[in-house]
Amino acid sequence: MHTLRRRISDILSDFITFMNTASVPMDMEKAPRIRRTLDFLDAGNIGYEFHSHPPLPTIDEALEYWKDIDSVHCKNLFFRNHKGNRHYLVVFECHKDLDIHSLEHKLKHGKLSFASAERMERCLGLLPGSVSPLGLMNDIDPESDPKELFPNGHRVMLFLDSDLKNAPRLSFHPCDNTASVVISNVDFIRFLGIWGGEYEWIEV
C-alpha cells in the first residue's frame, strides 16, 4: 500500500488498518516515530510516498517487500570511532557489501566499530533494525556532551555512496522498520540541508 502526500491522520489510519488486516502485531510505542518523521517531512515541504509493511529488520527480509517499489533501496550502518566520541552514518546501495577496513581507510577517522543500541537511540532516536538517514532529524540542535560534537555542532557525520547521486528516488525507513518512505533525490538533499550537518560522498 502506498499513498502520495496526504494528511498524516489519513496515512496513519491506513497504516493501522494494514497492520490489522495483515495480522502483523502493532507496536504502539513505535508508531510515534513514524508520526514525528512524517510531520518533519511535511513541515519541510518534502514530498514522499509512504509504504507500510511488517517489521523488516534486515535487508534480506526487506527486499521481498521492496521489489515492487520503484526506487533505489539503501543500507544504513551506524559507527563510532575508537574513542567513542564521534559517530558516523554510512548510507549505500542495498545490494553492495561494505568492508569495514576499506571504509576506515576511505574515511580517515581511525578505527571504527558498530555503535551500540544506546548510542543509536541517543544520537539518531532510532532502534536497531530501523537505521535510516531520516533519523538525522533528531540530530538538530542536540543536547550532548560537547566532546561528542563535530565543529558544526552535530553529533553525527554522514557518508553517502556516490552512486546514489544519480538515483532519482531513494527509499528509507521513517525511523521505524514497519514502514518505508520513498523520497526524490532532490528532496533528500533538501532534507540534509534542513538537518545542517556535514556529509560527504564516497565510493563504496
Helices (H) and strands (E) in the chain, counts: 6, 9
pTM, 2 dp: 0.83
Domains and CATH numbers, the chain: 2-202 (3.90.960.10)
In which band, very low, low, confident or very high, does the pLDDT at 26 lie, cut at 50, 70 and 90?
very low
For the four alpha carbons of 106, 112, 116 and 118, in that order, the dihedral sign comes to negative
Q: How far apart are CA 191 and CA 137, in angstroms?
A: 9
Residue 20 pLDDT: 34
Residue 54 is classified by DSSP as S
Average pLDDT, the chain: 86
Residues 145-161 pLDDT 10s: 888 899 999 999 999 99
In residues, how long is the chain? Answer: 204
pLDDT digits (tens, 9 = 90+) for 78-127: 999 999 999 999 999 999 999 999 999 989 899 999 999 999 999 999 99
